[in-house]
Structure 1
Amino acid sequence: MTIPSSLPFRLGMAAAVALLMALLWLVLRELGMPASLSPAALSVWLNGQGVWGPVFLFLMMVLAVVVGPIPTLPVSAASGLAFGMLTGTLLAAVGALTGAMIAFFVARVLGREILREKLSSHPVFASDGSQRLLFWTVFLTRLIPLFSFALISYAAGVTAIHGWRFAVASLLGMLPMTFVFAGLGNTFELNPTLTVSAAALVLVVMSALPWYLSRKPHSRLARWINLYRQP
């Protein structure tokens, strides 16, 4: 994909995306989206929108991912409350991936060419940078909700990772915790102890995995996922 290199084009595209996100926020607020963004309030509002409810959920997740300070957790939890765990997970994941791709391409347009020229021999920023390393980096950081979804998307945009690899790594990495968060919203009132325990267990496993792989680069697990090239 060839991206025009002129500064006015780059700035114009960034301004257009910022304006679009601002308009989207204003439209959703005019339609009655709760300002508190609590899962319970959001789910009540979404259920009252009829066939437009899933569309509004999708747009809310896009907005939450592109505009970093807006949290994605309440939206994911509301998706489970409003539409059930499976449908809610699908809607939240598709919205999050769409937002991630928007952030990715904005960063690519704004900064990719500059970094590629200045760091032409760097394995992350060069044209022939390590796709395997970048794929697994995105995948592992998506597994851990402590990392900002927006920040990862913008940062990946200026690296050498191919757009389709970024999309696949993001989708596969986000699904486990999106499912947990949607389930948290869907079942918290019925069985909070079970839900919180399951979420905590997934968080521990996902957080420990990168640490284990860094300490055991030649373990059977590392070889199975081909995280490191074997000598």
Structure 2
Amino acid sequence: MIGPRARLAILVVALLAGFAAFWGFDVVTKEDVRGWVDAFGPFAPVAYVPISALLGLLLVPGPVLAGVSGLLFGTAVGTIVTLSASVLSAVCALLVARHVGREGAVDLGGERLARAERLLERHGFGAVVLQRLLPAVPDAPMNYAFGVLGVAVWQIALGTAIGAAPRAFSYTAIGASLDDPSSPAAIAGVVVLVLVSFVGAEIARRIYVAR
């Protein structure tokens, strides 16, 4: 029987392998994704949601997936698709981490992890929202971390729906405007991205100072 620490190690290795497969060996390329989605015709936006969520589980960066969504479906529909996929991927990653890696993390983390769990039990929703707003903090690895730390499903689902919405619009709009970087949608995407990054960083700074 595989012990909890071994399951945690297997999860980490599997995630790194998935990430390397996409970026290092081109096992799955953007063109592949486009081909899969185009095959569904008018149902392509619906089909892209689980495809994007699965790639997110493999640590494919959210901005890339959002950009592809914008390229395929435009800003309006693409933003809805991107946000839906983000929520689905976050919930799935949390559940995987909870059932596969949580026991091993508890064994290794000790009292420090227990304190983090107690804090997130009260403030998990706010923590998810803040993390989604923070610049340069990738969502996919954090989804697994939230699962290990005991964040509730409703907290990560609602927190992602709210906190990830601005960036979902930004990256989708930028992806939809690759052929016209000076379009209003592209400019709006960049402006929102800058504002969200500033707001997230400022909130984090104030929380740190208030400690």
Same fold (TM over 0.5): yes
Structure 1 residues 48 and 212: alpha-carbon distance in aligned structure 2, compared to 1, 3 A threshold: same
- Give CA-to-partner distance per residue, 1:8-62, whole Å, 9 cap, x none: 8x95xx78xx6xxx8xx9xxxxxxxx95416xx8658744541342243123311
- Give CA-to-partner distance per residue, 1:95-141, whole Å, 9 cap, x none: 22212111111111123245456338833124xx4434332222122
Structure 1 residues 85 and 199: alpha-carbon distance in aligned structure 2, compared to 1, 3 A threshold: closer
Matched, 1:198 2:188: yes
Aligned counterpart, 2:79: 89
Question: Which residue among 105, 111, 119 is the counterpart of 1:119?
Answer: 111
Secondary structure at 1:98's aligned position in 2? helix
State how far apart, in whole Å, the 2-side matches of 1:163 and 1:45 are: 29
TM-score (norm 1): 0.66
Count of residue correspondences? 197
In the TM superposition, residue 203 of structure 1 has moved relative to its aligned partner by 2.7
1 or 2, which has the higher helix percentage? Answer: 2
The runs of 5 or more residues in structure 2 that have no matched partner are 22-26
**AA of the residue aligned to 2:153:** G
Secondary structure at 1:161's aligned position in 2? coil
Secondary structure at 2:30's aligned position in 1? coil
**AA of the residue aligned to 1:131:** E
State how far apart, in whole Å, the 1-side matches of 2:68 and 2:113 are: 45
Work out which structure has the larger RCO, using CA pairs closer than 8 Å and 6 or more positions apart in sequence: 2
Matched, 1:50 2:41: yes
Q: Which structure has the greater CA radius of gyration?
A: 1
Structure 1 residues 78 and 149: alpha-carbon distance in aligned structure 2, compared to 1, 3 A threshold: same
Percentage of pairs with the same residue: 25
Secondary structure at 1:192's aligned position in 2? coil
Aligned counterpart, 1:67: 58
Aligned counterpart, 1:37: 30
Aligned counterpart, 1:136: 126
State how far apart, in whole Å, the 2-side matches of 1:80 and 1:55 are: 14
Aligned positions of 1:1-231 closer than 5 A: 7=3, 11=7, 36-37=29-30, 46-47=37-38, 49-68=40-59, 70-116=60-106, 118-119=110-111, 122-126=114-118, 129-144=119-134, 146-192=136-182, 194-216=184-206
Kindly report the root-mean-square deviation, in angstroms, between the aligned alpha carbons of the 2 structures: 3.9
